[in-house]
Amino acid sequence: MTDAGRADPVTADPGLRHGRVSLALSFGVQGVAFALLVTRIPALQDQYGISDGLLPAFLAAVPILAGAGSVLTEKVVARVRPGVVLRWAQPLVLLSLLGVGAGRQLWHIALALGVFGLAVGALDASMNMMGVSLQRAYGRSIMLGFHAAYSLGGIAGASLAWVGARWDLSLFVSYLPVVALLLPAALVGSRWYTEGRSPEEAVGGGAPKAARGALSFKLLLPLCLVMCFAYIGDSTVSNWSAKYLQDVLGSSEQMSTLPYNVYMVTTLLGRAVGDLGVRRFGAVAVVRGGSLLAAGGFALVAGAPGAWVGMLGFTMLGLGLCVIVPQTFAAAGRLFPGNSDAAVARLNIFNYVGFLVGSPLVGVLGDAWSYRGAMLVPMVLVLATLVYARSFAPSPARYGGGHERPHTADVG
């Protein structure tokens, strides 16, 4: 994630560079932790004796509490900086993950998941607040790089979970070495957390008056809807891709495990190069392109004659959806440059709304209608992002200027 060849004094600041690396580490650690939890759900059921009927309540509690954690973070960062919240929320996430693996009774996992959910909400909100702040200081798109680190962590966490399941390790034994490694790394990395200032603040010592407007939910709502639609699409893939490939497209059980892995890899690849696309073509074009590609992926999945065509559709979904969420956070920062922390915290809630809605929505439609038809619903929702694409434009007149330089300045 280097930016060689730039003489910009802001991006040349060693503190900003160290802050960028340490924040990327936090995104990666979070990706590992979350993947270790969600990919071992069958083992959780066995360890705690959770029935299929009770499981959805436990799973729904995590995003609901995460939303509450995001709301609480908005209040907290009015008094302390997001870096302080992140410094303590990340260890809490890792320790609560270890608690999930260590318990034996239902109240043990209820308590551990409750802490995990609240801490994840605070962690997600504070990480993205800092990412928006650093992007503002850099004056060009770097937000996708942070989310690429999260995707990389997710792939690593899912791989570690596979090893634990393959060797029939208990959850505690599976989680302990990971937490023992990542917890000190996260604490050490937190020493270099920093928040960027806009070019105007760096020169003039404070944000321009035009940038200090009050947060308006009416202006933020289009981005909230985009965030929700993107996570409905994401949760559709994570929860239904294996079942769809096996039950609808007739794949083998082994092949049905591939779509989500392919989705994660293409998400990583798309985010790894996405910042270059934003710098070259602008955020609006990248979001439009991603939305069209994702919608095409859903259409291909819905109409696929066989498993391999379905795999191609899920590949397109990863490449398309991966750019939308990071750019939505970045757009909120541009929309409210004087109040970006609060905007990010409120926007982050719709991450969990989409996650909660996506899985049951496809399930209900699939049972009542057909699973092929159900795939068209997230397709339409993702296409609706095109209606709001102009909300991603870095218009000086709309955003107060200075948050992100024209993308033509980032070429060459």
Structurally, the chain folds into a number of domains equal to 2
Predicted structure pTM score:
0.88
Residues 221 and 259 in one domain: yes
Residues 244 and 387 in one domain: yes
User: What is the spatial distance between Cα 391 and Cα 304, in angstroms, rounded to a whole number?
Assistant: 33
- Tens of pLDDT, residue by residue over 149-172, are 999 999 999 899 988 988 999 999
pLDDT, residue 304, reads: 97
- Tens of pLDDT, residue by residue over 82-103, are 999 999 999 999 999 999 999 9
- Tens of pLDDT, residue by residue over 317-356, are 999 999 999 999 999 999 998 899 999 999 999 999 999 9
pLDDT over threshold 60, residue 9: no
State CA 216 to chain mean position distance: 23
Confidence of residue 242 (pLDDT cuts 50, 70, 90): confident
pLDDT over threshold 70, residue 5: no
Residues 219 and 113 in one domain: no
What CATH number is attached to the domain comprising 299? 1.20.1250.20
Q: Is residue 7 part of a domain?
A: no
Mapped to the 3 state alphabet, what secondary structure does 19-80 carry?
Answer: HHHHHHHHHHHHHHHHHHHHCCHHHHHHHHCCCCCCHHHHHHHHHHHHHHHHHHHHHHCCCC
pLDDT, residue 156, reads: 94
Mean pLDDT of 294-311: 96
Residues 126 and 241 in one domain: no
Q: Is residue 2 part of a domain?
A: no
Q: Is residue 3 part of a domain?
A: no
Q: Is residue 27 part of a domain?
A: yes
Mean pLDDT of 294-305: 97
Q: Which residues contact 181 (CB under 8 A, 6 or more apart)?
A: none
Residues 222 and 332 in one domain: yes
Residues 223 and 189 in one domain: no
DSSP 246-314: IIIS---HHHHTHHHHHHHHHHHHHHHHHHHHHHHH-HHHHHHHHHHHHHHHHHHHHH-SSHHHHHHHH
Confidence of residue 255 (pLDDT cuts 50, 70, 90): confident
Mark which of 146, 164, 196 sits at the end of a domain. 196
Mark which of 161, 196, 231 sits at the end of a domain. 196
pLDDT, residue 397, reads: 37
Residues 177 and 248 in one domain: no
Between residues 210 and 18, the one the model is more confident about: 18
Mark which of 137, 169, 196 sits at the end of a domain. 196
Residue 75, classified by CB atoms within 10 Å of its CB into exposed (0-12), middle (13-18) or buried (19+), is exposed
Task: Note whether 226 and 328 are within 8 A (CB).
Answer: yes
pLDDT over threshold 70, residue 289: yes
Mean pLDDT of 3-32: 78
Q: Is residue 206 part of a domain?
A: no
Domain of residue 346: give its range. Answer: 213-412
Q: Is residue 208 part of a domain?
A: no
Residues 184 and 230 in one domain: no
Residues 26 and 172 in one domain: yes
Q: Is residue 226 part of a domain?
A: yes
CB count, 10 Å around CB of 111? Answer: 15
Task: Note whether 403 and 198 are within 8 A (CB).
Answer: yes
Confidence of residue 274 (pLDDT cuts 50, 70, 90): very high
Q: Is residue 1 part of a domain?
A: no
Residues 187 and 264 in one domain: no
Residues 67 and 154 in one domain: yes
Residues 135 and 231 in one domain: no
Q: Give the mean pLDDT of the chain.
A: 88
Confidence of residue 197 (pLDDT cuts 50, 70, 90): low
Residue 205, classified by CB atoms within 10 Å of its CB into exposed (0-12), middle (13-18) or buried (19+), is exposed
